[in-house]
Every structure is written in structure tokens, then in C-alpha cells.
Amino acid sequence: MSARRFLPLPAAAALGAAAVLAFAPFGWFVVGWLAMAGLFALLRRAPTARQGGLVGFAFGCGWFGVGTSWVYVSLSVFGGLPPALAGVATALFCAGLALFPALAGAAFVRWRRPGFAAEAARFAGLWMLCEWLRGWLFTGFPWLSLGYSQAPPSPLAGYAPLLGVYGLSLLAALLGACIAEAGRRAFAAPGRLVWPLLPAALLLAGGALLGVLRWSEPSGAPVKVALLQGNVPQEMKWRPEKLHDSLAVYDALMRAHPATLTVLPETAVPAFLGELPPHYLERLLTHALAQQGDVLFGVAAGDAGQYANAAASVGVSPPQLYSKSHLVPFGEFVPPGFQWFLDMMHIPMSNFTPGPARQPPLAIGGQRVAVNICYEDVFGSEIIRALPEATLLVNLSNTAWFGDSLAQPQHLQIAQLRALETGRPMLRATNTGMTAIVGADGRVQAALPPFARDALVAEVSGHTGTTPYVRWGNGPALVAALLLLAGGCRRRPA
């Protein structure tokens, strides 16, 4: 093939890499629209479905190669893989994720129909459906879904309580198509700019108006919370001889920052619940009773034969337990046929048993708390299982596995969407960052600096109410995508 034919591929890869600027920690949400505009323009010029797939694949390689580069840190620095092998594994992982944009690109060209409206509808519908597919196939990996880049202050954030993160992806892709068409017409047909600009303006105005609405309201008196960030180095965390040091870190933080609801991070107590020193559980209970409250802490529940990644509570409320249900492949369970890969790494506690898919909220701290652990808050359709009963969302995480990388701010941005979709505050207690409080409006109200040993103390109100997303989940967004796809692929009468 000629060099000219391959010219769109470097451009697509560069656009994908640039799209990462739309996500945290950069937060330049407009870049997400522009990246979609560039991808739409490239796909319109692709002569064949194969070329469209290559353009989508190149875009995905740039996007995930930069946006999920933290996978290398996990595999090499903390997983113990040799750097070269970790690099190959990371590249294969990113290439696998890039197959989803490739599928969208190939299908867009394959079902080509003339006219901007049909092309824009097909582009947005296919993009969203492929993101949704990525969110559940092979247990799912919806990280870096385009909709996350549209967290506040993006005007599109107002649609989140109705359509969820996938709906925001659809609207951002549609907006990108409008921008691309406006750019084309600015040179070719300036007098017809109104047709792509009008729907873009309506999308943005609609989001801004919806953003004023409040789908939930505070319920009851505010509760004083303390979110503890122990900053325990990952390489020290699971050493048996360091157990006492880890317990002492959180004991000191609790005593220095009393609260009605105290939350410790994922596996903050690096031992089995049944094997903890009895005096330590007594200290936790004594501390909670002194505050007339509860302590929620991450711990492994079970024994060496069968154990769960759990969150346990002690205090004035009866003891309660939440067991993580959506486990991380390779980190928390071994996919069939990949034991050899896990044997090459040094990941402790890597064969957890999943908890039940549906677990009631924990009644602690005077609230009904929907607990989720680490990676679970990436799945909005699973978070809403505990709603509308839950008044607070609480996430316990340990992102020390990813070092000082993009993973931490990206994870906080994901929490913003969960708060928006549900109309509930999200409290995040993490080992190394980012420990934060996200309001029911999806805005970060307070956060600790990463890699600091401290506690985030504040008063938080639980919320009640039901958003459309809580009621219907991803259904409305899927229907919208299918309708756009049907309209964009319909043959015109001869």
C-alpha cells in the first residue's frame, strides 16, 4: 500500500493519545469532543471497512497506550515481571482494548450511507455500543469510557442522571461529529453552518439546563466522617512482619481524627479477619463506641482456602460485612488458562472468591451505605443494585499498585460519574490516593494529596431520591444508540 493510504493511521493514533487530555487529571473535556471530531473526519474518508477498522484500531492504540499506561507499573514494579515482558503484556492489553474502536470504525464504513445526519447518528450509536460491549465482555473493562471525561464542569454532565456514562459517551461522539461537519462546511459551504451547529448548541444547552436539576435531596442530620489514608508502601503491605506497623498507622489516624463514621481503605488490615489480634478488634470497637459510631475497614474475610476481599464494620451498629463481587482478572482471580502468567508475578492474595451480586446496604453511622471496593465503582449498572435504599456510596481502594500514575485521578473521576448517576455522595478512602468526598452533584468537595498519611474529616449528608438512571440503568442509553444506529443505517428509497 502507498504511504498516502497509511497517512490516516498516525493521525488517528495521535488523536487517540490526545483524547487522554480530556480525562483527569487534565480535565480538558473539550478535547474529547475534538478527538471525536477528528476520528469522525478520518472515518468518513476511509475507502473500505478494513481501512475504517485500522483507523479505529490506531485511535484505540493511542488512546489506551497513553491512558492505561499505568498497567505497566502494576506488572513491572509491583507484579515482579521483567520490564521487557511487562512491556509486551501492557502492549497486548492496550491492543486488545483497541479492538473495540476498531470494530466501531469498521462497522461505520461498512454500513456507509450518504448524508451528515445519517453518518453522525451511525458514528455516535456505534461508538457507544462498542463502549458498552467493552464494559461487560470478558467481565468488562469500561475504564476510560469517553463519558467519564464529561464529568463536571462539562455541560454534558447534566445528562448523567438520565443516561449514565454510556449516554454521555454517545452525546460526546455526536457532538464531535457536529464539530467535524461544521469545520468542513466552514470551508465548503459557509451558508449551511447552521445545520451542524444547531444540534450541537441544543445538546450543550440541554445539558446545562439539566445540570440545574437535583434528583435527590439531603436526608437526616449530617454525619461526621473520617476517611483514612495510611500511605502504606505496597511492597511492605503484605509482609507478615509489617502487620503490626500497618495496624499502628490506622490506629493512630483514628485516634487523631474521631468521627461518627470512620472508613479505612481496601485491605487496610492486611490479614484474615478471623486471624486479627483480638486486642486490635477491641481497640476498633472501643474507638467506635466512644464516638457513638462505627468503623468500616477493608480486610480479607475467610481463610487461606477460600477468602473474599471484604469490608467489615464494628461499632454501635451490629457487625456487618460486604464482600466484593466484581473481581479484577489477574489481580484477584485467575482466568482459565492463565495460571502460568500469575505464577510469574508476585501478587499476594490473588485468588479471591466473589461475594453475592446483590448485597443490601450496610446500616452504619446512621446511614445506609452502599459499599464498593476498588474497581467495582467502574460498573455503574452494578452500583445501582443497592439503590434507592442506600443514602451514601462508599468506596474502599488501594491504588498503590499503580504508583504515581494517571490511574488515581482517573479513578476519582469515575467516582464523580457514580455520584451523578445515583444522586448520592461518594466517599473514597484509599491507601495512597485519591481519598476524597464527591458531592451528589458529581463535584469533588474535598480531597487529600496523594501519597500523604492523613485523614479527610468532614460532615456529609446522606441523600434520598431516585434518578432515572437508578430506575432504568443503561436501558435508555442503549435504546438511544440503537435508534440512532437504525436511522443512520437505513437505506434510502431508490
Sequence-distant contacts of 9-15: CB under 8 A, at least 24 apart = 9/54, 9/55, 9/58, 10/58, 11/38, 11/42, 12/38, 12/39, 12/42, 12/55, 12/56, 12/58, 12/59, 12/62, 13/58, 13/59, 13/61, 13/62, 14/62, 15/39, 15/42, 15/59, 15/62
Looking at residue 241, its pLDDT comes to 76
Looking at residue 2, its pLDDT comes to 43
Residue 482 lies in a domain: yes
Active-site residue (options: 130, 178, 324, 421)? 324
State the total domains in the chain.
Answer: 2
Same domain, yes or no: 180 and 51: yes
CA distance 405 to 407: 5
Is-catalytic flag, 266?
yes
Q: Which three cell numbers stand for residue 474?
A: 443503561
Same domain, yes or no: 170 and 245: no
Same domain, yes or no: 458 and 480: no
Same domain, yes or no: 338 and 409: yes
pTM score of the predicted model:
0.94
Residue 352 lies in a domain: yes
Beta strands 294-302 and 269-272 are parallel
Domain that holds residue 435: 217-466
CA angle 402, 241, 348 (to 5 degrees): 40
CA distance 439 to 81: 39
Same domain, yes or no: 109 and 89: yes
Residue 90 lies in a domain: yes
Same domain, yes or no: 200 and 227: no
Is-catalytic flag, 61?
no
Is-catalytic flag, 324?
yes
Same domain, yes or no: 321 and 448: yes
Active-site residue (options: 119, 131, 266, 376)? 266
Residue 413 lies in a domain: yes
Active-site residue (options: 374, 376, 421, 489)? 374
Question: Who's near 454: CB < 8 A, 6+ residues apart?
Answer: 229, 253, 435, 448
CA distance 382 to 376: 8
Looking at residue 343, its pLDDT comes to 63
Same domain, yes or no: 167 and 241: no
Q: Which three cell numbers stand for residue 174?
A: 455526536
Same domain, yes or no: 225 and 187: no
Same domain, yes or no: 166 and 101: yes
Residue 202 lies in a domain: yes
Looking at residue 303, its pLDDT comes to 77
CA distance 306 to 302: 6
Same domain, yes or no: 308 and 423: yes
Return the number of other C-beta atoms located less than 10 Å from residue 49's C-beta.
Answer: 16
Query: What's 308's domain CATH number?
Result: 3.60.110.10
Residue 192 lies in a domain: yes
Residue 346 lies in a domain: yes
Residue 494 lies in a domain: no
Q: Which three cell numbers stand for residue 317?
A: 451498629
CA angle 399, 402, 405 (to 5 degrees): 110
Residue with C-alpha cell 449516554?
167
Same domain, yes or no: 32 and 114: yes
pLDDT along the chain (494 residues), means of 10: 62 98 98 98 96 97 97 83 92 97 97 91 97 96 98 98 98 98 86 87 97 95 97 77 86 96 94 87 94 96 86 97 91 68 62 92 97 96 97 95 92 98 98 96 97 97 98 98 86 46
Burial, 213: exposed, middle or buried (Cβ in 10 Å; 0-12, 13-18, 19+)?
exposed
